[in-house]
Amino acid sequence: MGAPLKPSFGLSAALQAYADNMKRVVILGRGASGKSTLARRLGKITGFPVIELDKVFWRPGLAAMPRDEWRLVQGKLVAEPAWIMDGDLGPYDAVEVRLRVADTIILLDFSLLRCAWRALRRSRERADFWRWLLAYRSQTLPILMHAIANHAASAELQVLRDPEALSRFVADVSRKSQS
């Protein structure tokens, strides 16, 4: 299983050490936490391709891709040498596929209120989205942390709890990429 995870809450000096090796980035978090926005920002900084998993996974009419097919599709995506993948598909996901090859995991652990407000502003959402959003910290987050411990123990885990920590993280990655 490897060494126990040492998540960094906010930012740490470890960011400088691993920024040079940040090539396969997985961004997770509650719905409307800003995963896609962060992925695009990091993509511009690093030049890595950004893969928005919602666009790959969901079929017309928001039908979920079958799990076996989703595993195969992810297997092809993660074979590339560098990428940024954003998406947290909750109970539909097979997150272990991308966790196994990730060197960096960013978890946006923003408050329910912040994410609910953002979701209300951006679009209409289905009832299953709202159930997932409400139960994220009590149900989904423990499952994700277990999956990270089991499948990505050597990856650097950044847990960002607010927009200020996120801004500092992006600024540090940007500074590091310019040096």
Q: What is the pLDDT of residues 118-145, one digit of tens each?
A: 999 998 899 999 999 999 999 999 999 9
Measure the CA–CA gap between 118 and 171, rounded to whole angstroms.
23
pLDDT of 80 strictly over 50:
yes
pLDDT at 73: 97
pTM: 0.89
The DSSP code for 91 is G
Tell which residue, 88, 80, 98, 76, has the closest CA to residue 143. 88
pLDDT of 178 strictly over 90:
no
Q: What is the pLDDT of residues 23-78, one digit of tens each?
A: 999 999 999 999 999 999 999 999 999 999 999 999 998 899 999 999 999 999 99
